[in-house]
Structure 1
Amino acid sequence: MSHFFAYINRMRFINRWALMRNSYTENIQEHSHQVAVLAHALAVIRNRCFGGCVDEGAVAVAALYHDAPEILTGDLPTPIKYYNPQIRDSYKQVEHVAEDKLLRMLPRELQGDYEEVLRPSDEQVQELVKAADKLSAHIKCLEELKAGNGEFRAAAEQTRAALDKMDLPELRYFCENFLGSFALTLDEME
C-alpha cells in the first residue's frame, strides 16, 4: 500500500508564518494552490507577452508540490532557513531526504514521474515557481497589512525587494497589472 497521497493530503496541517502573529492562518496546501495559480499566470504571461516557450502545465504542477517536503520537515521560517549559508545548505539536504522519502512511498513505476514534479529539472520551471512562491509571500503580507496587522510591514518590504531583485519581465507585468488588487477590499474591486 502506498502512503504518498495520504501524506500529500496532510499538507493542510502544516501552517506557515509560525514566527508571526497572523490575522488568519495559512497552511502549505492553501499556499501551494496559490503558488500554482500564480506560477501558471507567470508562465502564460512569459509565453504570450515576452516570447517564452515554457510548459505552463509543468509549472503549475511543480508549484502544487513545491512545499511537499514540509509535510515531513515542517515549515522552517525564512529568517532561520536563510540565516547563513551553512543552515541554508543543511536545510536543502534535509528537504532532499524528505523528497526521497516521499518518492519511495510511490510504486516504482510512478517514482520517475513524481521525481520530476518534486524536483523539476527545467530551469524555467524552477525560476517561475520560485518567483510565484515569493509573490505569494508578498500577497500574504499585503493581506495582513490590509487587515491592520503591522507586524507584516517589514516582511512586505523585504518580499517586495526580493521580487524586484528577480528582474523578471513577467513578474513586473503581473505586479503592474494585478498586484494592486490584493490590497483592496471586495467593495473597492467593483
Structure 2
Amino acid sequence: MGLSKPRLKSSLLRRLFVAASIRRWNDQACPVEFVELDKQAHKMVIAYLLARYEEQERGICIDWESLIKYFCFEFFARVVLTDIKPPVFHELQKHHQAELARYVMHELKKDLEEYEFFEEMQDYLRTSHSSVEIQILRAAHYYASKWEFDIIYHFNPHMYDVKNIKKIIDDEVEEHYHLRGIQKIVMFKNVSELVTMFGQLRFQKRWSQTPRVPATSVLGHTLCVAISAYFLSLDIGACEKMRINHFLCGLFHDLPEILTRDIISPIKRSVIGLDEHIKKIEEKAVKNKILSIVPPNIADDIIYFTQNEFGNRYKVECFTRVATSGEELIKNYNCNQYDPVYGEFLKICDQLSAFLEAKISITHGISSAELIDGAENIFKKCSQSIINGVDIGAIFRDFV
C-alpha cells in the first residue's frame, strides 16, 4: 500500500507563525511586546486549568476534543481577522457574525477543507453556542487579556482610556466567576502565580543566541507543536485519547523550562551526563513549584506530559508503561483505554516547529550560521519520516 500525504498544509503552518508577528495592544504604551501567538497559547493553558478544575471540583464532564477544536476555530479566525480591534470586532460579531464567518471560511478553505471538522467550524463561527467548553474558552480568553493588560496598567495607569479598558476587561472576567477555576485564580495567590508562571514563558525567546524574525517565544513554540501534533494525529489514525494527549503534551512539553530556562541542545549533547542531570533538576523544580499547588488530576497530567516527554508510552490501570517502538504502540495500544502518547511522533512535531522557526526567519532575510545549520540538521533527520503509512516528511520537503 502506498504512502498517504498529510493534510496539514505548509500554508496553514505559515499562518500560525504570522500570529507571532501580530502585535497586541499596539495603541498602548507597553513595557514589553505582546504578540497574538503567545496570547493564544496562554489562553489555551488557562482553558486547560479551568477545565480540569471543573472536572475535579464540580464533577463536570469536559469534551476535551471539542475544547481543542473550538480553540483552533477561534484562533484561526482571529489570525484572519487580525486587523479588527477587539471592541469593533465584538460589535461586528453582534450584527454580522454569519458574514464574518463566511469570509474566514473562504480564506481558510484551501488549508482546511480536507478535514472532517470543516463544516463544524463553519457552523461554530456562524452561530452562537454556550456549552461549558465555550464558557471555559471565553473565560480563558478574557483572563489572558487581563493578565496582559494588568502589566500595561501598572506600567502607566495615567494613559488615555486605560482605566476604562481595565474596568471592561475586569467585568468580562467577573462574568465567569461561576467557573470554579476562575474563583481559584482570583482567591488563591498560588493558583494565580501558576497562571503567571506559564505566562512568563512568553518572555523566554527561542534560539536566544541568534537574531530571528519573528522571534518566537517558548510559549508560542509549544502551541505550534500542539496544533501540528493534533492535526497530524488525525492523519496517522490516532484514537481520540491519543489525539487529545498529543495536543496537551505539545502544549506542556517545555513546561520545565519556566524553571531552568532553555538550555540549548548542543550544550546538552556535548557534556556527557548533562542532559540526564538537567532532567533531574527539572523534575525536582516541577515537583516543588507546580505539583505541590495543583489538584491531583492536573499533577498526574503534568507528570505524564513532561517526564520522558518524547517516549512512547501508555497506561494500564493508571500505571505508565513504555512501548518498545512507535509501531508497537500504534498496533497494540491505539485505543482510549490505554491513554497512549506516541512520543517519537511528538518529537517530529517539535522538530517541525523548530524547522519552521529557522526557515521562516531565513525567508524574511534574517539568517545566521546557527539557523542554517539548525534547519539543515532537522531536515536530514525528519524529511523522510513515515508514521503509520503517512509521509510526515512531506511537510518538511514542502518548505525547501
Q: Name the counterpart of 1:187.
A: none
Segment drifting more, 3-12 vs 68-77: 3-12
Q: In structure 2, which of residues 267, 292, 299 is the aligned counterpart of residue 111 of structure 1? A: 299
Report the 3-state secondary structure (helix = DSSP H, G, I; strand = E; otherwise coil) of the residue aligned with 1:82.
helix
Structure 1 or 2, whichever has the larger Rg, is: 2
Matches within 5 A, 1:14-93: 14-47=204-237, 52-53=238-239, 55-93=242-280
Unaligned ranges ≥5, structure 1 = 184-190
Question: Deviation of residue 170 (structure 1)?
Answer: 6.1
Q: In structure 2, which of residues 370, 386, 395 is the aligned counterpart of residue 168 of structure 1? A: 386
Distance 1:40 1:83 in 2: 32
Greater relative contact order (Cα < 8 A, sep 6+): 1
Number of residue pairs matched by the alignment: 177
Q: In structure 2, which of residues 352, 357, 361 is the aligned counterpart of residue 140 of structure 1? A: 357
- The letter for the 2-side match of 1:77 is I
Question: Deviation of residue 12 (structure 1)?
Answer: 0.8
- Do the aligned partners of residues 137 and 175 (structure 1) sit closer, same or farther apart at CA in structure 2, a change above 3 Å counting? same
Question: Deviation of residue 67 (structure 1)?
Answer: 0.5
Distance 1:30 1:110 in 2: 21
Q: Indicate if the aligned counterparts of 1:36 and 1:61 stay in contact, CA closer than 8 A.
A: yes
- Do the aligned partners of residues 25 and 171 (structure 1) sit closer, same or farther apart at CA in structure 2, a change above 3 Å counting? farther
- Do the aligned partners of residues 103 and 148 (structure 1) sit closer, same or farther apart at CA in structure 2, a change above 3 Å counting? same
Segment drifting more, 72-81 vs 57-66: 72-81
Question: Deviation of residue 172 (structure 1)?
Answer: 6.4
Distance 2:275 2:301 in 1: 27
- Aligned-residue sequence identity (percent) comes to 21
| Structure with the higher fraction of residues in helix conformation | 1
Q: Indicate if the aligned counterparts of 2:345 and 2:387 stay in contact, CA closer than 8 A.
A: no
Please tell me whether residue 94 in structure 1 is matched to residue 281 in structure 2.
yes
RMSD of aligned residue pairs (Cα, Å) = 2.5
